[in-house]
A and B are shown apart, each in its own frame.
Chain A
């Protein structure tokens, strides 16, 4: 009798964002939710806006979920933080950070190094990169020695909240670094799926969920950030959440995919899609009748209380 080998682990997610919109924080909660359900693994967290409080926030969220799961201070790679001048901290980061090991920039890692190191530890084509915010970090990663080859081997898809499809005005994430976006669309060696501006705005995250579903903790850092971001109540667009949802559950048909083609970034930041059979790019298309199901998935997974580690192990 042959014993089966170890099962391939769930997709390793590299999540790179500016961590300056509440959508980024919600996506981080969604990612921890998927990780807690063993549907995905957090491979690396990168922050393209060089702001220490963003790194502290991500680290505090990690500690919060680890604590809720009874996993102590277990941790993987440090938060990757871009270097440079910060554009300033988002209002959502003004909420008090309760526990973090990030005290200074030296407690974070250079963002492309941490993404590179995370990818070296993934099974071939078992990682997905989710981008929300400017493509600065990923463009820089392409310059790293051997990185393109590494990405081609390890990453199955780059799912990015970027652009507007089939057309639309310049999208903020693209406009934030047009050169980087152009470079990533032109040189990234794996398929790219774009969640356009129209997707995130069509799928608002309900403020009511923050008040109800996240209430299992009085000190939930995501709920705190949500309240600090804007006066409540408000519903938040979900560009990053959509990109992440596709990356983790590509076969669930939450979205339809466009035909393959090539995205070109124009000088003013608009995106142009040209269909072609050999193209590596697609964009997400939302069917109105899937909207409710997607938002329900968002709220259920993002707000889920982690299963305690002991219970999880006992259930296996």
Chain B
């Protein structure tokens, strides 16, 4: 019998001090409406990599349908039908505009704000970032309006680039023109934030929990069993996969903490942060996946490493700092190393995209219902160029974006035009943002 009753979208599995949100299940769609209007929400994320990209390895030498991808984008080749490459987008506000040196500070601060930041070490001033404008509106429907994440510990004060405060190089999201939103770096802190009923755990509580080493899923076992009896086979399988993914994240965090316990204490590793870059990236993106899947948030910014970082990449046998390498003075061996770092980042990103694509959501995949922008605030890191910024969108924003293509716009096309188009897709209407001159067209045209 069709009753039209449905499981509420905001159903949680509850336990002591715990509430685990659920992914989008068929049982949440009223039977009579299943073929009509119920659609999963559209989510958006920004994955920002610093110091530009070796653009020769990024830009294909063709427009239109994506075929063979250039070297740096190679890891995304299995997903080329799921990505859209955008050429010639520019952030004029990241340029010097009479303020002299400091392109790393400016490019990061202007990336999502679309404004020219004030050159200062103290009275910082940029603008509200567009992700936060979206978060303020669509965030009312989720537990977290947005998540700001990162992977590299970085100070928030002091001089990080030629007179620009570290607040500019080390944050992507800005809640207001004077309030950057520092990224969460520690996977456990993020995990507890997502699943710990919204309360930050005290060290004592965390120690107590560690003592028992119980899975958070143990606390919601009763609710889980009750829910399972009311679900169909497909939903039961989806729920099982989802809860397994949470358990897997827990396992990784536990492993990271054990690994860190063996590290020389002089190395000052943050608690719970994996020493391995790829492992850390996977952990953070796994939680981003769960956060999107369970509709805990629809807006995420992810500052992979901070702008101007000199982090070495010993994981791939590159002991040199990233930033110094990017000033390669056209020396082939240095360019090669930067390209390898670029590729390494893309490999991690591609693994995340694979995971997002593997998750069914309604008639599509979780990836299909997202707009995940991967990009940088500089194109050529050697010359500090702010035009033709490397930009791709993975996902279709809810069957809106016609992927599998490369679109080259006219030079100087403001990046903020893309933001306006994305805001539309997120259901947030604005006539103008930053230095936009209109909405970026063509995203939905095959």
Contacts and interface: CB of A to CB of B under 8 A. Distances in A.
Given A113-B414, A121-B95, A145-B436, 14 more contacts: A106-B409, A106-B410, A106-B411, A107-B411, A108-B410, A108-B411, A109-B410, A109-B412, A109-B413, A114-B411, A114-B412, A117-B412, A120-B97, A122-B98
A120 B92 contact: yes
B92 A117 contact: yes
11 contacts: A77-B412, A106-B411, A110-B410, A114-B412, A116-B437, A120-B92, A120-B95, A120-B97, A121-B97, A144-B437, A145-B437
A109 B411 contact: yes
B413 A110 contact: yes
A123 interface: yes
Contacts of A108: 410-411
Interface in B67-103: 87-88, 92-93, 95-98
A144 B414 CA distance: 13
A105 interface: yes
B115 to A, nearest CB: 11
B432 interface: yes
Contacts of B189: none
Contacts of B437: 110, 112-113, 116, 144-145
Contacts of A260: none
Nearest to A120: B97
Interface residues on B, range: 20 to 34
Interface of B: 87-88, 92-93, 95-98, 116, 408-414, 432, 435-437
Given A113-B437, A144-B437, A121 B414 contact: no
Interface string A115-135: 011001111000000000000
Interface string A90-118: 00000000000000011111101110110
A77 B95 CA distance: 12
A110 B432 contact: no
A145 B432 contact: yes
Contacts of A112: 437
For the complex of A and B, list the 3 residue pairs with the smallest distance between their C-beta atoms, beginning with the closest: A109-B412, A78-B411, A109-B411
A106 B97 CA distance: 24
Contacts of A105: 410
Interface centre among B96, B97, B411, B413 (most CB of A within 10 A): B411
Contact of B412 (A113, A122, A123, A144): A113
Contacts of A120: 92-93, 95, 97, 116
Nearest to A121: B97
Contacts of B95: 120-121
Nearest to B92: A117
A106 B92 contact: no
A67 to B, nearest CB: 20
Contacts of B87: 106
